[in-house]
A and B are shown apart, each in its own frame.
Chain A
């Protein structure tokens, strides 16, 4: 019997993709050869319709609608699909899944995700605390509830330009208070408060995707330097690297938090060569397919950990492998679109009109 794995984050938009499609693709290329079910939040989430990587797509209630609704929907779908493993891929839903994890385990759905406490530790507004606990440097960060902060913050030692970030998504550099206030309102309008102010450091960003084994170890990791950005600041091309300091920071993070599950570390190397922790995402990044590309398929690794397999340490990954992202269109029949709109699910494979 092949495994059935549910993956969220089907919002594979061209300019700012969610990670779900890349995770599904990694799984489809793994020796596990699972059935992959995609969970989306919008009828136009592209990956729901990608029949090569996603066998069937379903809609879930939005995270902001609460856990009761989410659990009811998951229970209903589990009766039909019998999920073995569920991999959440979006920041805004992680708290819900972390809190539901014990219930899901009871239903027979395994997850390999951090608990609520671990999630809180890496919350963007707690970065300085985490940095202190791990001994990794990080820029000054403060949660901001009122836009007026940006007019008065210079008295508290802040200097422009500074980064203005959403708690879950979005970040932009503001060169003065007026810009910061405008960004504050734009992000708050979509993701609510608090908004984060973060002092800006000139440097080169490097990233690491990995899996924490839940016992304090880093089970596998792939490192990457973005080579080209979209106008939203998302990488559309990148190259694998090997940076011992970055790897050490990730190991230290896993050791301190006993991190369980996928993660992405975003760090910055300043002009003096020092590393600063900018952000930790509690899930795989959208560029996770590079991990399969360099021979260290991290979603496959995560599923094996979720299933309780004993794993050998993964070998170091080669540097110098590029990914270049392109957009392509899925052709969707009106019947398929109707089905997801009316029933919240794509048509069964083969039932396509």
Chain B
């Protein structure tokens, strides 16, 4: 997880939700929440802290956010191999 968060720093992130990986040449679309996570990941390598920050911003339980973020990072990991 941590490695994936680190790797995400290389991504070129556009406010439109368009994400480009200069290493693999792949591009992606993320939704608004995905965008927030990628922005946070630029400065935060600890998943728990990242989830905490999200819980402060959004109206949902830590449990729900943690679950969704895990899923997101898992997806990302597959893409950033």
Residues of A within 8 A of B (CB): 334, 337-339, 341-343
Contact = CB atoms under 8 A, between A and B. Distances in A.
A337 B27 contact: yes
A342 B32 CA distance: 12
Secondary structure of the A contact surface, majority rule: helix
Contact of B29 (A334, A339, A342): A342
B45 to A, nearest CB: 27
Given A341-B27, A341-B29, A342-B29, A334 B16 contact: no
A334 B20 contact: yes
B27 A343 contact: no
B16 A342 contact: yes
Contacts of A341: 18, 27, 29
Task: Please tell me the size bucket of the interface on B.
Answer: under 10
Interface of B: 12, 14, 16-18, 20, 27, 29
Contacts of A343: 16
Nearest to B17: A342
Contacts of B17: 342
Question: Nearest 3 pairs between A and B by C-beta?
Answer: A338-B18, A342-B16, A342-B18
Residue among A337, A338, A342, A343 having the largest count of chain B Cβ atoms under 10 Å = A338
7 contacts: A338-B18, A338-B27, A341-B27, A342-B14, A342-B16, A342-B29, A343-B16
Contacts of B20: 334, 338
Contacts of A338: 14, 16, 18, 20, 27
Nearest to B28: A341
Contacts of A339: 16
A341 B20 CA distance: 12
A341 B28 CA distance: 9
A342 to B, nearest CB: 4
A159 to B, nearest CB: 50
Contacts of B29: 341-342
Nearest to B16: A342
A338 B14 CA distance: 9
Nearest to A343: B16
Contacts of A334: 12, 20
A42 to B, nearest CB: 14
Given A334-B12, A337-B27, A342-B17, 7 more contacts: A334-B20, A339-B16, A341-B18, A341-B27, A342-B16, A342-B18, A343-B16
B33 to A, nearest CB: 16
Contacts of A337: 27
A343 B12 CA distance: 18
A127 to B, nearest CB: 43
A340 to B, nearest CB: 10
A339 B12 CA distance: 15
Nearest to A338: B18
A345 to B, nearest CB: 12
A108 B16 CA distance: 33
A342 B35 CA distance: 13
A352 to B, nearest CB: 16
Contacts of B18: 338, 341-342
Contacts of A342: 14, 16-18, 29
